[in-house]
Every structure is written in structure tokens, then in C-alpha cells.
């Protein structure tokens, strides 16, 4: 005979075996305050009417989110929708917080809010230190905890605004979401402007990633998805486009074009151009002008 499947407990929060609606709509506590009571492990359970946001500042852990298993590291944010079976195991040096909200009070339930995926599927977001959205997300979550720590003096309208900010930023980072697609197109537009302004300085990918507020890896991923080209390829394309125009429409020598494009060594520019175009700058100029009837 097969063993009957163990029943997953349904809790109000972590350990309260009472799922009646409480008289509050949001609660925050440190990860350690609860998990240390249970040897740093929160066994699998689910919440009937709560949505949770777990923020790891330091330390590590493991998360069981339905069928998913995820490693937690500093900068990780996990969202857990209602009715999802989940559990956690943490290191003893864990530092972070868990914010629990009544799903019925979430602003994300408004039609057309764009946050449907967060309400139906767990998400794991790994923030990059120094990125614009990442730093803002972490700071806003900290502010929610700080406001709730005030107790009866907490500013409810401000907390609601913080929650909307957090959910908006988390939803925008979900792969495949409409908000992600829109944001990525906007970032490509911003990137085009940055490249146009700075390609002569030969800045590395890290410069552009910092200006846009994402990691270099994330920027490369956006470039691949939106253009089919890597960030370095886009930079080379821009330099080559300007070099071709200069060779066809100006009387500057290859050496002058090299200096204008930020190359300190004209010979290196010639090698770069030849590698990318398949012909030398002089050959390219002659071919194009011959087709234009200039020579």
C-alpha cells in the first residue's frame, strides 16, 4: 500500500495554526526572529490569504517554492503568493526580513496593474549591488520595515506607496512580462543615446551598465534580446558606422579619422577596420567612391 500524502499545514503566518483574517493587513519581522526558534528551518506550509516578500541582506539559505528549489544569497528577494506550499532553511548568520501582506489588500489586485505573475507564481530576484533599481528596491523594503517598527505611529498611506513601488519594480524584473519588454525597449533607447555621446571615448561595458542602472551581464542580455547583438558588438558597430561615413563623405585621412574616433594608434585603427570590414580603410573609400562615380 502506498503511504497517504502528508497534509501540508495552512498557517496564518509561519506557525500560527489559525487562518482567520487578522485585524492588520501588513506585518514585518526579521528572518532570524522566527527561524531561530525552529533551528533555522521553516518547514513547508502555505498561507490561505497572505502574500509574502522575503528579503535576504546577508547570510545564505535554501527555499522550497512549490516544485522549485532555490539557493538564497545576499541581495535575494523572494515573493510567495497565497496558497503556495513553501519552506526555508537558513544559515545561522542570516540577516533579512519577511513582510507579510493580506492579499485582498494588495494594490496589485487592481485590474490592469501588470503584476498578475507575482500573484500567481513565486519569484526569486537577485539584486546587483550598485544598480539603480536594485538599490532602490532594497532601500524601499528597509523603509517598510522601519515604518512598521514604529507601531501605532506607522504611516499607512506611506507604507502602501512603498508596497506599490516594491511590487512595480519586482514585476518589471520578471522575465517575459509586458513591463519587462517595455522597460528593455526604453533601456535600448537610452543605450543608443549613450553610445552616440560616448563611443569615441571607448568606455567599457561597465560604464554603460552603470549609467543605465543594471549589471553588465543584464545589459548584455537586454542587448541580445532586443538587437541580437552583444554590447561590445553594438559599440564596434557604432565606430564602424562613423568610420565608413567619414571615409565616404569627408576628405580626412585614415590617420585623422582614427584620432577623431578616439584611437591613439592609427595603425591599430587600420587593423580594427580591416578586421571588421574585410578591406582596408583606403580600399573601402576607393570602392565606395567608385560606386558613387566620384573617381
What pLDDT digit, counting tens, does each position of 259-273 carry? 999 999 999 999 999
Residue 188 and residue 206 in one domain = yes
* Domain endpoint, select from 174, 199, 230: 174
Residue 131 and residue 30 in one domain = yes
In a domain, 39, yes or no: yes
Across 232-251, average pLDDT: 94
Domain count across the chain:
2
What the block records as the C-alpha cell of 152 is 501605532
Q: Please give the model's pTM, rounded to 2 decimal places.
A: 0.57
* Domain endpoint, select from 174, 195, 229: 174
Residue 17 and residue 139 in one domain = yes
Residue 229 and residue 241 in one domain = yes
What pLDDT is recorded for position 96? 96
Name which of 57, 180, 72, 60 is nearest 118 in CA terms. Answer: 180
What pLDDT is recorded for position 6? 52
* CATH number of the CATH domain containing 117: 2.60.120.280
Which of 27-41, 92-106, 131-145, 199-213 has the weakest average pLDDT? 131-145
Mean pLDDT of the chain: 84
Residue 209 contacts residue 215 (beta carbons within 8 Å): yes
Domain of residue 88: give its range: 10-174
Which residues have CB under 8 Å from 160's CB, separation 6+?
107
Residue 217 and residue 283 in one domain = yes
The band of 15, judged by pLDDT with boundaries at 50, 70 and 90, is very low
Indicate whether 167 pLDDT > 50. yes
Name which of 119, 104, 99, 85 is nearest 55 in CA terms. Answer: 99
What pLDDT is recorded for position 133? 74
What pLDDT is recorded for position 232? 94
Residue 135 and residue 202 in one domain = no
In a domain, 134, yes or no: yes
Residue 139 and residue 255 in one domain = no
pLDDT in tens, 205-235: 999 999 988 899 999 999 998 888 999 999 9
* Domain endpoint, select from 174, 189, 215: 174
pLDDT in tens, 34-51: 899 999 999 999 998 999
Query: Bigger pLDDT: 150 or 57?
Result: 57
pLDDT in tens, 137-155: 999 999 999 988 876 566 7
Amino acid at each position: 500500500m502506498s503511504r497517504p500524502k502528508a497534509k501540508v499545514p495552512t498557517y496564518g503566518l509561519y506557525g500560527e495554526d489559525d487562518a482567520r483574517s487578522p485585524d492588520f493587513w501588513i506585518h514585518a519581522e526579521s528572518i532570524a526572529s522566527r527561524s531561530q526558534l525552529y533551528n533555522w528551518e521553516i518547514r513547508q506550509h502555505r498561507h490561505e490569504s497572505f502574500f509574502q516578500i522575503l528579503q535576504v541582506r546577508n547570510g545564505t539559505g535554501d527555499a522550497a517554492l512549490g516544485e522549485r528549489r532555490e539557493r538564497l544569497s545576499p541581495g535575494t528577494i523572494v515573493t510567495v503568493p497565497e496558497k503556495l506550499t513553501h519552506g526555508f532553511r537558513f544559515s545561522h548568520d542570516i540577516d533579512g526580513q519577511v513582510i507579510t501582506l493580506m492579499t485582498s489588500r494588495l494594490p496589485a489586485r487592481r485590474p490592469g496593474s501588470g503584476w498578475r505573475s507575482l500573484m500567481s507564481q513565486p519569484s526569486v530576484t537577485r539584486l546587483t549591488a550598485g544598480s539603480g533599481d536594485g538599490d532602490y528596491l532594497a532601500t524601499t523594503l528597509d523603509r517598510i520595515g522601519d515604518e512598521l517598527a514604529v507601531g501605532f505611529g506607522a504611516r499607512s498611506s506611506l507604507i502602501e506607496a512603498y508596497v506599490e513601488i516594491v511590487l512595480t519594480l519586482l514585476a518589471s524584473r520578471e522575465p517575459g512580462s509586458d513591463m519587462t519588454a517595455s522597460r528593455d525597449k526604453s533601456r535600448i533607447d537610452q543605450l543608443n543615446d549613450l553610445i552616440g555621446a560616448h563611443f569615441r571615448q571607448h568606455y567599457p561595458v561597465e560604464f554603460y551598465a552603470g549609467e543605465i542602472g543594471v549589471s553588465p551581464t543584464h545589459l548584455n542580455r537586454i542587448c541580445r534580446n532586443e538587437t541580437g547583438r552583444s554590447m561590445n558588438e553594438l559599440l564596434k558597430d557604432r565606430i564602424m558606422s562613423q568610420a565608413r561615413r567619414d571615409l565616404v563623405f569627408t576628405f580626412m585621412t585614415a590617420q585623422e579619422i582614427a584620432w577623431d574616433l578616439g584611437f591613439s594608434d592609427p595603425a591599430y585603427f587600420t587593423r580594427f577596420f580591416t578586421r571588421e570590414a574585410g578591406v582596408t580603410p583606403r580600399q573601402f573609400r576607393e570602392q565606395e567612391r567608385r560606386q558613387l562615380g566620384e573617381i
